[in-house]
Each structure stands twice: as structure tokens, then as C-alpha cells.
Structure 1
Amino acid sequence: MESKRQQKFNKLIQKEMGEIFQKEGKHIIGNAFITVSRVLISPDLSVARIYLSFLLDKDKVTFQIIEEKKGELRKHLGNRIGKSVRIVPELAFFMDESASYAQHMDKVINSLDIPEDSEEEDEEED
């Protein structure tokens, strides 16, 4: 269970990282549209696990670039929240697979061949 302080930092980092990707990070990510879907921070507030979802781009390539530029992104985050925190957390990025999983499950459900109940079968059961 997360403390209120962790929840507060999660929201703060999620908001700030979203803005960094929109503004300062354009030279890093190009035209990719990145959503910071979730942030989980460690109890000692030293490591932030940031979950990203990607649209309009090859997510594996962009994710590799983000991993390489992790230090630069942490610096931008420090410039934004440095006066609010004692330590700017280390950033650990993860791909949020929930959107692709939802698409996959939707596709599976739509491809199921489920026969429809007819009213005749309902009458026979009574």
C-alpha cells in the first residue's frame, strides 16, 4: 500500500514527465506521441518506475532512445521539481502494454464464433 506522500509524488512526476515529453523532449522523441500512463515511486522516493504508452510511432525504437537519454530526462525533471524534493529520483522506464493487450483481447473476442440462442431452445427447456 502506498503512502499519501508516494501517491503525491507519483502524480507530480507523472504530470511533469508528460510535460517534459511534450515540450523539452521533442528533440529526443520526434513526432512520437507518448503518454505517461502510470508512475510508481519507491518508498524511499529514490526510484520512479515510469510506464509509457506510445502512439504514432515505432514504440521499440523510441523506447530505446528514451532509455539512452534517461540522464537528460532526469535533468529536465530535476529542473522542474528540484525545489520540491530532496532527491530527484532515478528514472526506470517501462512499456505499458495495456493498450496493445486490450486491442488483442478485443480482436480475440470479435473472432469468437458463438452461436446465438434461439427462442425455440428456450421454449424446449421450460
Structure 2
Amino acid sequence: MKNNTRISRINDEVFKEISQIVWGELKDPRIGAMTSVVRVDTTQDLKYCKVYVSVLGDENQKASVMKGLKNASGFIRHLVAERVNLRLTPELIFKLDESAEYAVRMEQLMAQIAKDREEREVQKDAE
């Protein structure tokens, strides 16, 4: 239990710092304003940290942002090491998180289903 709390606190700190770095400190033009850190998962041994990133845009923009983040991972890791007091600074592995887009798509589908159902009921009443 204690270890899970520790990892959770570390995840929170690393998330906060990486979000701040990605949002305001990276100069790479590939990483735009439509990029946000969704969550981080650090392994128990602190060797690796998966950083889940959401990117609004087409497939080319997503690929470009992910390439930019991969190239900047050493720099980001260095800044995290300076700001978060850890004996080991985990290696950062950036992953694309498309859950936000999935949620928007599901919402659109649900709205379309409701609209179609309403139209069928109006047609049924008119008959």
C-alpha cells in the first residue's frame, strides 16, 4: 500500500512537470498548442515512465508531434531530473492517447442515433 502511494505521488509530480515542459518550454515547432499530457505511469522500479499524450489533429500532425517528443525526451528527462527529487529519473516513453477523440466520436454517434430515432418517431406520428 505504501509503495502504491509513493508511485502515485511520483506520477503526480512527474505529470505536473512534463505537462509544464511540453506546454511552455519546448521550442520544437512540431509540438503545438494542441498537444497535452493526459497521464503518466511510472514503473515500480522507476526505470521507465510511460507518458500518454493527446494530440488534436490529423495523422500526419500526430506522427510529427510524437517524433518531436521522442527527439526531446532526453531534454525533458533532464529537466524532470532537476525538478523532481528522485534517485533515479525514469526513461520517458511517449505514447499517443486517442481516448479523447474516441469519446468525441462516440458522442457524435450517440447524437446521430438519437436524431435518427426522433426522425423515425416524427414519421411514424405523421402516418
Give the shorter-chain TM-score range: 0.7 to 0.9
Structure 2 counterpart SS, 1:16: helix
Deviation at 1:29, TM superposition (A): 4.3
Moved over 6 A (4+): none
Per-residue CA deviations over 1:103-126 (Å, capped at 9, x if unaligned) read 110121122222449xx9xxxxxx
Q: Which has the larger radius of gyration?
A: 1
Gaps (5+ residues) in structure 1?
121-126
Aligned residues: 116
Alignment partners' CA distance in 2, 1:48 and 1:78: 13
- The aligned amino acid for 1:25 is L
Identical positions, percent: 30
Structure 2 counterpart SS, 1:26: coil
Are 1:67 and 2:80 matched, yes or no? no
- The aligned amino acid for 2:73 is K
Per-residue CA deviations over 1:25-77 (Å, capped at 9, x if unaligned) read 13364533322111111011221111111246822211111112221221122
Residues 1-126 of structure 1: pairs in structure 2 closer than 5 A: 3-27=4-28, 29-55=30-56, 58-81=61-84, 84-112=85-113, 113-114=116-117, 115-116=120-121
**Contact in 2 for aligned 1:32/1:56 (Cα 8 Å):** no
Bigger proportion of residues as helix = 2
